[in-house]
Structure 1
């Protein structure tokens, strides 16, 4: 019997997002000040972002008026303001994934001595929304709110495997990735296929030297990936049997998380 190949429906056209320069520049300023450890003046901000100083100043004043930035009149420098804390708290209080997954992350980090991470994903970026650290003397430089490229490392392979993105979209994003151990596009696609077959992805030293990252997908009712649960450890910290057991436990947590988040989601 010869199977008839299924014909996939044509992809839906992507929604065109009209650029809004003022918003884009304001976000860039907030991100810049979020990354820097010291307050910055108008010139240093405008130089860093290639903005016209007068335009930069107008945006800074608007953000300061909304308490998203704070201005020190003595030094003439800007830093993030308390309004950002209010927004961040609101995000955490309304982020159902973070609330649902946190107990699982705490269990995993305590039992296995790993950093357990809840991640929200899309093609372009992944964002850490929940985190639990172990008591072992191992600290990964990641915090709630940390952003990474969408297709990097173990989570990135799952985004490609379960994200329903086109091959062209994926390949374009892959070209911008930076690895500790660079990998060819062809080899990476094979690893994506393996990740989908196995239901998890493991990155050992590929993205970060000396660090192993294990990720499992959290899928919605349409089997699209929305989040991942990640365990980060020192490479070779666990035996193969321990690693296998941890993977199964992560899968179990991911299934329960999916059920809690999406059991009533019947959207076609």
Structure 2
């Protein structure tokens, strides 16, 4: 049987260029040609032409004195060019603001990135005390309400593929895996999920899918102090507000 993981098409020059960029990004300090070569298991002569090319294209910069290379801001600029995520964040801003004002709670918008949950936008609560989720933070899909909600938006083949790489899921017993998959299917049927946070005690998460079958599937969530759900807040009210916000954002992105 053929190895399905075998690379069918090789691009040695591209591999060397990406190795250089990734290594400089990981090290975060200027490095000489020899240091870069050692770090990516190449000889200095092997990477010389690639360094020249990357410098000419503006991806790396070489210091005038020590001749050490560092990343320029070009990749940062490219990564922050207009993308579907930018549009999603833009159109979701006002609905999220209204959700925050109506529930008096912070809310956050997340997508999937490298098999993890990535928070891409947050709207802070107008209240003096509230929870805050840092934009740019990654969380495990299998350990978060938003992550499980995202998984519920995928077909079974996509879901199985992602879970096969999840560090937590791979260690679970068969029964725990089955219970997890059943809950993901239940979210799909119910249309949202509420659960105590597995990462932070005393927190309840409520999440709802955004943009199902769109180019940018996402999840909108509200995280609240569990105690306030019994004293000040009403779960049904939060869910109704989330559903209204879901409808508003979906209309704006054409779903």
Change (3 A) 1:61 1:238: farther
Deviations for 1:200-231, whole angstroms, at most 9, x for unmatched residues? 123423134555433210134x5898111122
Asked if 2 retains the 8 angstrom alpha-carbon contact of 1:162 and 1:224, the reply is no
Residue aligning to 1:187? 179
Count the aligned residue pairs. Answer: 240
- 1:19-168 to structure 2, matched below 5 A, reads 39-41=29-31, 51-52=41-42, 54=44, 62-73=53-64, 79-91=70-82, 95-121=86-112, 124-134=115-125, 136=128, 140=132, 142-144=134-136, 146-166=137-157, 168=160
Question: Offset at 1:154?
Answer: 1.6
Match of 2:221 among 230, 253, 256: 230
Which of 1 and 2 has greater Rg?
2
Shift of 1:188: 1.7
Q: Retained in 2: the 8 A contact 1:215–1:230? A: yes
Instruction: Give the TM-score of the pair, scaled to structure 2.
Output: 0.67
Deviations 1:57-80 (A, max 9, x none): 766654444334444455666555
Residue 244 of structure 2 corresponds to which residue in structure 1? 252
Residue 158 of structure 1, CA deviation: 1.9
Distance verdict in 2 for CA 1:75–1:151, change over 3 Å: farther
C-alpha RMSD of the superposition = 4.2
Distance 2:92 2:167 in 1: 32
Whether the 8 Å contact between 1:123 and 1:170 is mirrored in structure 2 is no
Q: 2:234 aligns to what SS in structure 1?
A: helix
Single out whichever of 133-142 and 245-254 deviates more from structure 2.
Answer: 133-142
Question: What per-residue deviation string (whole Å, max 9, x for no partner) do you get for residues 72-118 of structure 1?
Answer: 45566655533234324423587321211111222334444544222
Cα separation, 1, equivalents of 2:129 and 2:50: 43
Distance 1:64-1:259 versus aligned 2 partners, 3 A rule:
same
- Separation (CA, whole Å) in 1 of partners of 2:170 and 2:76: 31
3-state DSSP class of the match of 2:253? helix
Return closer, same or farther for 1:106/1:72 CA change in 2, 3 Å cut-off. Answer: farther
5+ long unaligned stretches in structure 2: 1-6
The answer to whether the aligner puts 1:202 opposite 2:215 as a matched pair is: no
